[in-house]
Structure 1
């Protein structure tokens, strides 16, 4: 990949954000699934999605994780074979 295209792709990635409310609504996910995707506690996702009294704002890194996950899910037909190939090419831990 040419350097300019590489930089453009990284810039686009850095502009990807999605709120927990939008992500969970779009994919029908609850606290537990959202916690798993973001690798955080269920309590944190509860506060993201909870009522106004306990609501917390998700940090930008987590909003980026949700945007990337949204992109992956929305394009699963094309991306799944690529991810499976990538997974099988990774050395075991």
Structure 2
């Protein structure tokens, strides 16, 4: 079994910065900005279509997205804005091709 790496001071600072990061985007903001469907938002967030529809309802039947959902939408927004700037090697590290 391989011994885990010891974190450097710089890496510990990066963890501290990341843990305080409030990265998030509301579903309505994403919907308006990108002209996507509720189904596409559901796909991005790994949620059901009915859950996403609940995010857009008003009143007592309204559902709220989780912090994880907001982060998924913010990351997707970032990727849509900057995908052409991201080197292919970094794409492979972030999203390795599935083994078929």
Alignment of 1:13-92 (within 5 A): 14-50=21-57, 52-53=58-59, 54-79=61-86, 81=88, 82-83=90-91, 85-86=92-93, 87-88=96-97, 92=99
Greater Cα radius of gyration, structure 1 or 2: 2
Cα shift readout 1:44-78 (whole Å, capped 9, x = no counterpart): 0001123x133222111111111111111111111
2:15 alignment partner in structure 1 = 7
TM superposition score normalised by structure 1: 0.76
Q: Indicate the structure with greater helix content.
A: 1
5+ residue gaps in structure 2? 1-7
Counterpart CA distance in 2 for 1:48 and 1:62 is: 11
Name the SS of the counterpart of 1:56 in structure 2: coil
5+ residue gaps in structure 1? none
Shift of 1:8: 5.7
Task: Let me know the Cα RMSD of the aligned residues.
Answer: 2.4
TM superposition score normalised by structure 2: 0.71
